[in-house]
């Protein structure tokens, strides 16, 4: 990718590359095919050699300003034009625009008599003329091995081919040569002997009745390159190659939060929900409401005006929409508003890699902020556990690099938590919710645990997970004397507690009244005593007054008497 930078600091000569424009191929070849050199693409019949080369030309002509010549030894130009029209390539128009030149080389052995020494100068002249007529920088020879079946003198052909490749190098055109895979060799005629710069092997494998197309760079002189087998997909948009693993773990981590769609669940996750760009696993046994959680998450995304893709591997979109409507979530409006996209396919439709590619492509087109994969468990029908895991790692990698939040659901077959999930992806994901059946008191209820949630505070409690007409909610479970209570047992316990409260209230009020009465009794007693005291006091006062009066009267009398006595004395 960065080999394009011509202002390399060192003065060392470096290998220039021609971008192929094929999705993913430029990544694993780190920039494309070697510029000005021949590249061999080999593989068995029907593995996409011609398509690879035609894409190389078309992208070159349309995107990189490098016109190209296509020399077809097998197909007629009209056939070729029709064949690639399904990919949206209008070769006829491109020929008119002098972006591409098609040349069909036809060799009919029965018409030809060899009468001595010859050379392939005719081919050189044709090719040279074609290159000059449009100023081509790219050439495809598909499949040059046909020469061997058309002409007898192999020694001449080999010598001429060697000369041809040298000549193409001298003309500085980037060339693709295709070759049919032979027994024990890369190509039937050993073309790899002449093309030593870059060899790409295509393969089409069928395992368990499921086909996978694979690409491998056998050699690439003068350049580092990915060495793995990379799956690739051919569909209406052409070829896309998917690198198996990204080389680094270097994606950004957002601290933005994204709501789960269930307020109570957000509360369990530190109040705000998941991290944006994180991966979430919802696992649980059958019928625990995984899809409901997924649907609610998708709904929340769309309600917030963001986009979501829902990959359904078990149910059809209509089925999901209907089922979600029953719990008060309307997904159809979001579909109509083009915020929600459903992609439903049976896992057995194609290989795991193809699923990954399909997911990859859809995400590239729809550009969602969240993705739901429901469920990943079904993928196991297509591949082994380790394959599923590797695909999921890559999927998570890819999504995180795009900052897309992903929610997987997984069916755990065993109720035992220590069994973990079947795909053992629980270690890969950032948050893991477990929905569990709690069987108690003759009924089955759902309990939700947050098993892990990286980088945030989260509740360690079990919550009862309730699915109602109005959506999903989490209820605190009751801890009774017999353990955790859910469902009707919880409600019974709630009622019991309510009764208790009423009784207590009643008891309290009775006691209050009694005290009031006692108070009143005491108060009346107090007033009686007071009155008694007052009368006593009055009595006492009366005595005092009488005494005073008596005293007064006595004094008066005494004075009267003495006055009278004095008067008698004088009269004597």
Partner 1 sequence: MNGNTDTEPIDLTDDNDHYVLRLFVTGASLNSRRAVVNIKEICETYMKDKYSLEIIDVYQQKTIAEKEQIIALPLLIKSAPLPARRLIGDMSDTKKVLKGLGISIGT
The residue ranges that bind partner 1 (CB under 8 A) are 103, 105-108, 110-123, 125-126, 128-130, 147, 150-151
Catalytic residue, from 74, 75, 193, 387: name it: 74
CB-based contact 68:137 (threshold 8 Å) = yes
Least CB distance to partner 1 at residue 118 (A): 4
Decide whether 117 or 183 has the Cβ nearer to partner 1: 117
User: Could you confirm whether 74 is annotated as catalytic?
Assistant: yes
Distance, first Cα to last Cα, the chain = 166
Least CB distance to partner 1 at residue 160 (A): 9
Write 440-443 long-range contacts (CB < 8 A, 24+).
Answer: 440/484, 440/485, 440/486, 440/487, 440/489, 441/487, 441/488, 441/489, 443/487, 443/488, 443/489
Least CB distance to partner 1 at residue 185 (A): 25
What span, in angstroms and rounded, lies between the C-alpha atoms of 170 and 193? Answer: 19
Decide whether 105 or 198 has the Cβ nearer to partner 1: 105
What span, in angstroms and rounded, lies between the C-alpha atoms of 534 and 528? Answer: 10
Q: What are phi and psi of 428, to 5 degrees?
A: -85, -30
Decide whether 7 or 108 has the Cβ nearer to partner 1: 108
Residue carrying the six token digits 């949206």: 88
User: Could you confirm whether 180 is annotated as catalytic?
Assistant: no
Least CB distance to partner 1 at residue 153 (A): 9
Decide whether 25 or 147 has the Cβ nearer to partner 1: 147
Residue carrying the six token digits 């009595």: 539
Least CB distance to partner 1 at residue 159 (A): 12
Least CB distance to partner 1 at residue 224 (A): 38
Write out the two tokens for 525: 């007693």
What span, in angstroms and rounded, lies between the C-alpha atoms of 78 and 88? Answer: 15
Say whether the peptide bond before residue 375 is cis (omega within 30 degrees of 0): yes
* H/E run at residue 124: helix 121-134
Radius of gyration of the chain (CA): 47
Least CB distance to partner 1 at residue 119 (A): 6
Decide whether 158 or 276 has the Cβ nearer to partner 1: 158
* H/E run at residue 205: strand 198-207
CB-based contact 202:41 (threshold 8 Å) = yes
Decide whether 108 or 170 has the Cβ nearer to partner 1: 108
Close Cβ partners of 429 (under 8 Å, ≥ 6 residues apart): 278, 279, 280, 281, 396, 408
Please give the order of strands across the beta sheet that includes 463-468: 340-344, 308-312, 370-374, 405-411, 279-284, 431-440, 443-453, 463-468, 471-476
CA atoms within 13 A on the CB side of 89: 27
Catalytic residue, from 229, 306, 314, 315: name it: 314
> How many angstroms separate the Cα of 226 from the Cα of each of 3, 30, 205, 242, 406?
15, 8, 20, 11, 27
Decide whether 22 or 144 has the Cβ nearer to partner 1: 144
Decide whether 106 or 550 has the Cβ nearer to partner 1: 106
Write out the two tokens for 546: 């009488």
Give catalytic residue positions: 74, 314
């Amino acid at each position: 990718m960065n080999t394009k930078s011509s202002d390399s600091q060192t003065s060392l000569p470096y290998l220039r590359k021609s971008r192929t424009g094929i999705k993913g191929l430029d990544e694993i070849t780190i920039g494309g095919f070697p510029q000005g050199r021949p590249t061999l693409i080999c593989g068995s019949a029907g593995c996409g050699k011609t398509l690879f080369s035609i894409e190389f030309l078309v992208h070159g002509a349309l995107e990189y300003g490098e016109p190209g010549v296509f020399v077809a030894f097998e197909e007629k130009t009209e056939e070729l034009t029709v064949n690639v029209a399904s990919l949206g390539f209008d070769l006829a128009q491109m020929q008119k625009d002098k972006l591409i030149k098609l040349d069909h080389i036809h060799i009919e052995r029965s018409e030809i008599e060899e009468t001595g020494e010859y050379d392939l100068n005719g081919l050189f002249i044709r090719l040279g003329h074609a290159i000059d007529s449009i100023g081509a920088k790219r050439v495809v020879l598909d499949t040059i091995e046909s020469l061997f079946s058309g002409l007898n003198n192999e020694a001449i052909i080999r010598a001429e081919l060697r000369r041809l490749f040298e000549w193409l190098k001298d003309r500085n055109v980037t060339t693709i040569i295709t070759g049919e895979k032979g027994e024990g060799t890369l190509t039937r005629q050993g073309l790899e002997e002449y093309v030593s710069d870059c060899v790409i092997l295509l393969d089409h494998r069928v395992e368990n009745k499921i086909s996978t197309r694979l690409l491998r760079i056998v050699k690439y002189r003068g350049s580092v390159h990915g060495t793995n087998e990379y799956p690739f997909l051919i569909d209406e948009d052409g070829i896309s190659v998917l690198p198996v693993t990204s080389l680094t773990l270097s994606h950004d981590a957002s601290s933005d939060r994204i709501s789960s769609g269930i307020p109570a669940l957000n509360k369990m996750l530190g109040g705000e929900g998941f991290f944006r760009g994180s991966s979430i696993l919802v696992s649980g046994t059958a019928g625990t409401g995984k899809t409901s959680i997924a649907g609610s998450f998708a709904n929340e995304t769309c309600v917030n005006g963001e986009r979501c893709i829902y990959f359904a591997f078990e149910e059809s979109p209509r089925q999901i929409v209907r089922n979600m409507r029953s719990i008060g979530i309307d997904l159809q409006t979001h579909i109509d508003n083009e915020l929600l996209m459903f992609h439903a396919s049976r896992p057995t439709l194609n290989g795991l890699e193809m699923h990954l590619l399909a997911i990859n492509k859809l995400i590239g087109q729809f550009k969602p902020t969240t993705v739901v994969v429901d469920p990943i468990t079904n993928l196991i029908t297509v591949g082994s556990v380790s394959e599923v895991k590797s695909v999921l790692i890559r999927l998570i990698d890819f999504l995180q690099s795009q900052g897309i939040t992903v929610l997987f659901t997984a069916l755990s077959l065993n109720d035992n938590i220590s069994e973990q999930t079947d795909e053992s992806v629980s270690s890969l994901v950032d948050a893991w919710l477990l929905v569990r059946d709690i069987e108690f008191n003759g009924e089955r209820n759902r309990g939700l645990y947050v098993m892990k949630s990286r980088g945030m505070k989260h509740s360690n409690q079990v919550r009862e997970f309730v699915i109602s007409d109005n959506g999903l909610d989490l209820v605190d479970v009751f801890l009774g004397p017999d353990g955790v209570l859910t469902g009707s047992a919880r409600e019974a316990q709630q009622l019991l507690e309510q009764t208790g409260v009423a009784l207590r209230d009643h008891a309290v009020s009775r006691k209050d009244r009694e005290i009031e009465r006692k108070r009143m009794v005491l108060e009346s007693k107090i007033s009686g005593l007071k009155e008694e005291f007052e009368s006593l006091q009055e009595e006492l006062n009366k005595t005092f007054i009488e005494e005073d009066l008596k005293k007064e009267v006595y004094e008066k009398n005494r004075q009267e008497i003495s006055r009278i006595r004095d008067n008698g004395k004088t009269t004597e």
